[in-house]
Structure 1
Amino acid sequence: MSQAKSPPDDSTGRHPAGLPHVFIDRSLGRIAVPRLLRDAGLRLTTLAEHYGIPQDEDIADVTWIEDTARLGWVVFMKDARIRYRPAEQEAVLTHHARCFYITRQDLPGAAMAQRLLSNLPAITTACTEAGPFIYAVHATEIRKMDISSPRPR
């Protein structure tokens, strides 16, 4: 298990009450999406900030899932397949992780950030639930996904 680093300070005070600290998976990138979310007031830590560069490229998904769940953080990502991979699925279930993923893989960074920000009230409400869960973040809604079902063929 890795050592937790302190999250970057956010003095804007616009982070929604009830929304835990946000962890940004490598699938959303290191710069554009995190910057746009921070500009909107979110307190967050990227995978690269938490584990360091270049170590971030070698961190297994199961490791950051466990670490972020232990810290009480929620995860933003765009890797929809994570709910079908047995090891990652087990990590989400075992560690009661709370995850949100962008459903469109082809969106530019600004559109991904906007999708998350547009759904922030629903995401914040979902975070009142204990994990484990994975929500799909669509353009105008979020949907809770079944993380215990087999992968569709």
Structure 2
Amino acid sequence: MISPRFFVDRSLGRVQVPRLLRDRGWDVITLAEHYGVPGDESILDVEWLELAGSRGWPVLMKDERIRYRKAEVEALSRFHVRAFCLTQGNLNAQAMAECYILHGAAIWREATRDGPALYAVSRTQVRALPLV
């Protein structure tokens, strides 16, 4: 299966996680690669979510609490973004990449579906979260 192109949020870092994913065949673009450094640090979440949605790029991130922020949830819905959030915030780069890689087939499958969606990704599962 060919990887969809994923947009990697700054919460996962600029270098290590993207490199580890690419090494395993993932097609990723980071905030820093798209907006440049230090421009990537000042882009609002709603702005890059719009970009990801307009390009059809599913999103990889670490901020599961996004589902409680009204503006970001509206952006996910409005721009039909499919987002995959790690549930543990204290993982190192290797562990973060491993969570995504472990569930790669499920993530890639869900990433290619239509419509907005938010998924929690942990070491044991990928589960859909309601867009509250």
1:70 is matched with which residue? 54
How many residue pairs match? The answer is 132
Residues 122 and 141 in structure 1, CA contact (< 8 A), matched pair in contact too = no
Moved over 2 A (4+): none
| Structure 2 Cα separation of the partners of residues 128 and 40 of structure 1 | 18
- What's the secondary structure of 1:38's corresponding residue? helix
Q: Give the counterpart letter for 1:61 in structure 2.
A: D
Percent identity (aligned): 48
TM-score normalised according to structure 1 size: 0.83
Shift of 1:127: 2.1
TM-score normalised according to structure 2 size: 0.96
Residues 24 and 75 in structure 1, CA contact (< 8 A), matched pair in contact too = yes
Answer with 19-28 or 120-129: which moved more: 120-129
Residues 20 and 72 in structure 1, CA contact (< 8 A), matched pair in contact too = no
Matched, 1:89 2:73: yes
- Segments of 5+ residues of structure 2 without an aligned counterpart are none
Q: Give the counterpart letter for 2:41 in structure 1.
A: E
Residues 4 and 112 in structure 2, CA contact (< 8 A), matched pair in contact too = no
Q: How does 1:47-58 map to 2 (within 5 A)?
A: 47-58=31-42
Residues 8 and 28 in structure 2, CA contact (< 8 A), matched pair in contact too = yes
Matched, 1:107 2:109: no
Which of these residues, 7, 13, 20, is aligned with residue 36 of structure 1?
Answer: 20
Shift of 1:131: 2.1
- What's the secondary structure of 1:126's corresponding residue? helix
Matched, 1:120 2:98: no
1:26 is matched with which residue? 10
1:59-110 CA-partner distances (Å, limit 9, x unpaired): 0000000001100111000011111101001000111101001100011100
1:11 is matched with which residue? none
Relative to its length, the structure with more helix (as a share) is 2
Shift of 1:138: 1.2
